[in-house]
Amino acid sequence: MSDYVNVSEIFGENVFNDSVMRERLPKKVYAELKKTIEEGKDLDPSLADVIAHEMKEWAIDKGATHYTHWFQPMTGVTAEKHDSFITAPMPNGKVLMSFSGKELIKGEPDASSFPSGGLRATFEARGYTAWDCTSPAFVRYDAAGAILCIPTAFCSYKGEALDQKTPLLRSMQAINTQALRLLRLFGNTTSKRVTPSVGPEQEYFLVDKHKFLQREDLIFTGRTLFGAMPPKGQELEDHYFGTIRQKIAGYMKQVNEELWKMGVTAKTQHNEVAPAQHELAPIYAEANVAVDHNHIIMQTLKRVACQHGMHCLLHEKPFAGVNGSGKHNNWSLTTDDGINMLNPGRNPHKNLQFQVVLACILKAVDTHADLLRESAADPGNDHRLGANEAPPAIISIYLGEQLEDVLHQIIESGSANHSLTGEPLSTGVSTLPDFRKDATDRNRTSPFAFTGNKFEFRMVGSKDSISGPNVVLNTIVAEAFKEACDIMEGAEDLEMAAHGLVRKWFTEHERIVFNGNGYSDEWVEEAARRGLPNIRSMVEAIPSLVTDKAVKLFEEFGVFTKAELESRVEIKYESYAKVINIEAKTMIDMAKKTFIPAIMKYTTTLAQSITSLKAVGVEPEVQTEILNQLAGHLKEAQNALKKLEVITDAAIAVTDVAGQAKFYHDKVMPAMEALRAPIDAMEMLMDKRDWPMPTYSDLLFEVEGDF
């Protein structure tokens, strides 16, 4: 076939990876850089010029003309400034192409122009990007040509974190230190490093680009603010894992090839539950690399969609009435010599090290459930969490039958003497192969589920960075590991101390374990009885960042200072208010300029038709009934529009950031829903040809119609 692709040949071809560095760098320089990457050693600045020169030569060979420090400010997206490799002209009229070690290591974006939450004033503009050599540089191809992208952290002149990556790298250092302490206690003397491994699944919607451009709400907010449900949604459950349409398949093929070339291990692709919804999942990578790769995935999904006449929607809830999109964050801990600390082995009842790790995670999640919930909070996720396709806003842990049985044995008697095993699968068909089932089922309603050798945090929103959730996971587990090590290191009998700690923490934190239906009303009531927090919105979640408990946690492990936490609180409140304000203004604009004029025009035509029918002696009962219904809804919409305008103006006038965010949540959001309801009702009464923009039917099924 002419479009045949050999993945092994193209994979990583645009990445300054280990094989490229081994080939291009002098042996001593390569060895020192590897020490920095693998052991966290300081990089000798004198080597940076050599690395920069070879990186530049490699990038130029790939066609690159510019480089950029690629970083993740607190805007939710990445940022970049492109500089060409050219230097001052030579006397002969030519130019040199150069890239120095200083340019590789340090950049200077304007710190005051990015969200800082008060850490930087407008007149304090200096900020720095610093090379993250543990995440490989890559060349990206787009309309601008070939760009050398250098992953970096972003901090202020005083060293405060102004980005998503710096706290993540700090949290990775913290959990590495404490996890190694734990391993040493259990006799491991060979592992030198423990790294959080992350595999984020990415859900997204694809809609026709031309129809997207006719929807002001999609353009400005990423979600539909109006829209009645079509005759068919996801009721038949025929889209999930269904045959991938040819147009979508062609799109996925290009996405995969571009990601593979940039070293992203795109592995799984399939249709998701809702019409027009799909998913892409990579193989695990170290946490900071996984975060970078996920940003590359999101950018690639959106860019390639435009090339195929589509638009990619990453909003958590772009359509009411069908499933929204999440980003399941699969998290585990892996040593440099290949040991997964979350692997229970064949006999978890005998695996004391795993039991200690599990007890630490139960304690961490129970103690800091509010922080974990906040890490997945954003305005879009407020529409998704608690709905039928997403976990509830209550944090709980699913362990499965096998581990829950071990837990109960230890709580009741102090030790476990058996582990449940998987039974043979019986299908009743003799020609199907025999194999043993896993020892436990899965629970798709749990927000934090054990799935064999990892935990799957299912709350994260589809457009969010996964950095925040992993910062929290790494830090809270590091704290629990430290407490466990402090106890065991001071004990005369290590094994007895470990058994006692496991039983104590299993007992104290059993309340966080729930294997049932997380969507049920009964669980909400049961969780309340257990004393588990039910934080329903982003506005409710934000204060958890600056509780005494949170400040102590993050400062102890050097992940955040109190000032950095306070800045993030301010940024998050401001972000929430700005998002809802844009949505409210968009609704006002659409209602005033598009919907109400179109409906008035339609009702005028209908009224004229009624008059004409009456003139010839025909009683237009149906037309009159429809006109009356439209008139009633139109009046309701006009009243709701006026109220939304007044309330939005009042919200803008609130000066306190927390109070303003709460006002938007408590007052503006209900007013928005009140405006939507009558307009959606009128959509169902009007001639489709007179409705002023594409409907849910057009958006959700247009692309899917191509087999």
Q: Which pLDDT does position 652 carry in this prediction?
A: 95
Q: Beta partners for 269?
A: 280
Q: Which pLDDT does position 435 carry in this prediction?
A: 72
Percent of the chain residues topping a pLDDT of 90 = 78
What is the rounded distance in angstroms from the CA atom of residue 31 to the CA atom of residue 458? 39
536, 527 in Cβ contact below 8 A?
Answer: no
Q: Give the CA dihedral 281, 283, 287, 290, nearest 10 degrees.
A: -50
Q: Which pLDDT does position 232 carry in this prediction?
A: 83
- What's the rounded mean pLDDT across residues 286-306? 97
Is the pLDDT higher at 433 or at 145? Answer: 145
**Which has the minimum average pLDDT: 264-278, 439-453, 519-533?**
439-453
Helix (H), strand (E), coil (C) string for 312-335: EECCCCCCCCCCCCECCEEEEEEE
Confidence band, pLDDT 50/70/90 cuts, at residue 12: very high
Taking only the tens place, the pLDDT of each residue in 223-252 is 999 999 988 888 777 788 788 898 999 999
Q: Which pLDDT does position 531 carry in this prediction?
A: 96
Q: Which pLDDT does position 231 carry in this prediction?
A: 85
Helix (H), strand (E), coil (C) string for 402-455: HHHHHHHHHHHHCCCCCCCCCCECCCCCCCCCCCECCCCCCCCCCCEEECCCCE
Stated length of the chain:
707
Q: Which has the closest alpha carbon to 134: 256, 58, 64, 39?
A: 39
181, 482 in Cβ contact below 8 A?
Answer: yes
384, 277 in Cβ contact below 8 A?
Answer: no
Confidence band, pLDDT 50/70/90 cuts, at residue 639: very high
Q: Which residue has the tokens 């009007």?
A: 686
Q: Which pLDDT does position 124 carry in this prediction?
A: 66
Q: Which residue has the tokens 């025009």?
A: 601
Mean pLDDT for the chain overall:
92
Q: Which pLDDT does position 1 carry in this prediction?
A: 36
For residue 372, pLDDT over 50 is answered with yes
What sections of 186-263 are H helices per DSSP? 209-212, 216-221, 246-261
Amino acid at 319: F
Beta strands in 460-573 (DSSP E): none
Q: Beta partners for 271?
A: 278
Q: What's the alpha-carbon Rg for the chain, to the nearest Å? A: 28
CA dist list (Å): 245 to 203, 239, 277, 704: 17, 11, 12, 7
Amino acid at 686: M
CA 484 to chain centre: 30
- What's the rounded mean pLDDT across residues 518-527? 89
What is the rounded distance in angstroms from the CA atom of residue 302 to the CA atom of residue 294? 13
Q: Which pLDDT does position 108 carry in this prediction?
A: 85
What is the rounded distance in angstroms from the CA atom of residue 310 to the CA atom of residue 307? 7
For residue 59, pLDDT over 90 is answered with yes
Confidence band, pLDDT 50/70/90 cuts, at residue 387: low
Taking only the tens place, the pLDDT of each residue in 588-619 is 999 999 999 999 999 999 999 999 999 999 99
Confidence band, pLDDT 50/70/90 cuts, at residue 115: confident
Q: Which pLDDT does position 123 carry in this prediction?
A: 64
Q: Which pLDDT does position 703 carry in this prediction?
A: 65
Confidence band, pLDDT 50/70/90 cuts, at residue 185: very high
DSSP-derived letter for residue 123 is T
- What's the rounded mean pLDDT across residues 258-283? 94
Percent of the chain residues topping a pLDDT of 70 = 96
